[in-house]
Structure 1
Amino acid sequence: MPISRTRPDFTADERTQLVGWLDLQRSIVQWKCEGISEEDAHRSVLPKSPLMTVAGIVSHMRWTEQCWFEVLFLDHPATGPQFVGEEDADFMVEGIPLGRLLQEYDRQCAASNEIIAAHPLDQAGLNREFKSGSASLRWMLIHMIEETARHAGHLDTIRELLDGDTGYY
């Protein structure tokens, strides 16, 4: 499901603004993947960061959403590649088509939005295994805006290095 690349209204309530800004950044992640070849989606262009590919970032973002909203906030079991012990395992996507990764990311974002809609922004996370599990939902939302925007910027740079595609939403 494509997400609108529209900023939230200037006078919207806090939840609408926070989710709106997060959805905007999520849509930029999806947009930066449009029209890219499968080969380029998995191509490394940053010598010191070989796992930082378009496909790797999409996978990382999917698992980051799951970690913050399901594991840390709701205290669901810590599943996913980021918990297997190998550093940056959530970026390791060799052989996984970008289309599948984008579908998984889209589903995870929808699940995150359902969690966000069902809880007060002041509610603290339930997970006590990780220090960040005690953060409020508001804090987690702000963090996810920052995290997603940072990686949208990475995607912008990687796309320009791969095929010259540039653009601001």
Structure 2
Amino acid sequence: MTRRFPPAAADERTMLTGWLDVQRATVRLKCADLTDEQARLAVLPSSPRMTVTTLVAHLRWAELSWFETSFLGARELAVQDPLELPQSPDASLDELLDEYDEQCARSREIVAGHEFDELEAWAPEGLDLVSLRWIITHLLEETARHLGHLDALRELIDGTTGY
């Protein structure tokens, strides 16, 4: 996916989905040219579970969890967050990135078929139902926050920096 910034005078849907897509595309850019060995390195002593592979797997999980499990109510698709599992994903970085891209495409389809004011079909007990607008905004924040983690990991792994 190529990064394309949304038009400066876009409507709300174009703006929010456009910026989310910019963040999604940046995930792949941050992972470019890493070997599987490098992508599995835990370089933050205080966060041994945080590797490039677990972050990519977590971002896929976040897309699945918010758009399919919560918004559509497909609770049978619920899986555990890879950042909470005791082991790293077995898949290669390329496989994880492809799975992430496929999940993002599915998320785009879901968003295209619904209004921003629609509420999710399911929320964990004790939490209020949120709108699709809230979910998109949260995923924008979540993805951008983890891009900061990928920035730090990448710099510590091989010195690569940049937006």
Tell me if TM exceeds 0.5: yes
Q: Give the superposed CA RMSD.
A: 1.7
Q: Tell me the TM-score normalized by structure 2.
A: 0.93
User: Which TM-score applies when normalising by structure 1?
Assistant: 0.90
Q: 1: distance between equivalents of 2:125 and 2:12?
A: 27
Q: Which of residues 106, 121, 137 is equivalent to 1:142?
A: 137
Match of 1:117 among 100, 112, 133: 112
Give the aligned length.
Answer: 162
User: Map of 1:1-169 to 2, 5 A cutoff?
Assistant: 2=1, 4-77=2-75, 78-82=77-81, 88-89=84-85, 92-132=87-127, 134-168=129-163
Q: CA deviation at 1:93?
A: 2.5
- Aligned equivalents of 2:127 and 2:59: distance in 1? 17
Structure-2 separation of matches of 1:158 and 1:87? 15
Letter of the 1:66 partner, please give it.
Answer: L
4+ residue runs over 4 A deviation: 130-133
Shift of 1:6: 2.4
* TM-aligned CA deviation for residue 95 of structure 1: 2.9
Please state whether the residue corresponding to 2:31 is helix, strand or coil.
coil
State the distance in 2 between where 1:64 and 1:135 align: 15
Unpaired stretches in structure 2, ≥5 consecutive residues: none
Change (3 A) 1:80 1:133: farther
Structure 1 residues 8-38: Cα deviation after superposition (integer angstroms, max 9, x where no partner): 1111111111100100001111100000011
